[in-house]
A and B are shown apart, each in its own frame.
Chain A
Amino acid sequence: EAQVTQNPRYLITVTGKKLTVTCSQNMNHEYMSWYRQDPGLGLRQIYYSMNVEVTDKGDVPEGYKVSRKEKRNFPLILESPSPNQTSLYFCASSLRQGFAYEQYFGPGTRLTVT
């Protein structure tokens, strides 16, 4: 089944404790992206990657890191999480970069930082 998976789905952590949210897709998509969703703000793009070893900042990259060593994986790293990073996070992928291609989203990761 073609899908985007994220782990963990739910995470409660404390300020400053490094964490990684994994994202994997099995559709051989070139483009992958991370978003956060907060009430009243919609989805905001954190980072995106147009292909392996190519990443770029979205609208809200501060406090996050990403890497794209393999085509299928695009982990999101929070080196020192803070309470303002409490949010619902979505990973997405599409066949190619560019607006013409449908984005497929993972099921989301609900992160709480206390």
Chain B
Amino acid sequence: RKEVEQDPGPFNVPEGATVAFNCTYSNSASQSFFWYRQDCRKEPKLLMSVYSSGNEDGRFTAQLNRASQYISLLIRDSKLSDSATYLCVVSLTDSWGKLQFGAGTQVVVTP
């Protein structure tokens, strides 16, 4: 079983709509969580960190559910430029420097 699992998609979303997807992690000791964005096999870039209380950055909202061991990302008012693969990243407390990446969820925003 993979440490970090994501629905690969693609999630086809009309422009202006809302899309949400989850990422599950297997290690209950995981402490830090992130969403990275990757465009078409280019380098990943940090989208946002995920805090215990949930956090919002413009049209993006991230939530953490420790009891069920998943994080979520919600994108409101989707733009064409939001089309990308979203990578879930988890860090383990006992392994400084080691990050676990999910395989990514592809989002395609259509006109």
Contacts and interface: CB of A to CB of B under 8 A. Distances in A.
Interface in B53-111: 87, 91, 96-99, 101-104
A105 B44 contact: yes
Given A107-B43, A108-B43, A42 B101 contact: yes
B1 interface: no
Interface in A40-60: 40-45, 48, 50, 56, 58-59
Nearest to B88: A42
Contacts, number: 54
Contact of A97 (B42, B87, B97, B101): B97
Interface magnitude class on chain A: 20 to 34
Interface of A: 31, 33, 35, 37, 40-45, 48, 50, 56, 58-59, 88, 90, 97-100, 102-103, 105-108
11 contacts: A33-B99, A44-B101, A48-B97, A88-B41, A97-B96, A98-B91, A105-B45, A107-B42, A107-B43, A108-B42, A108-B43
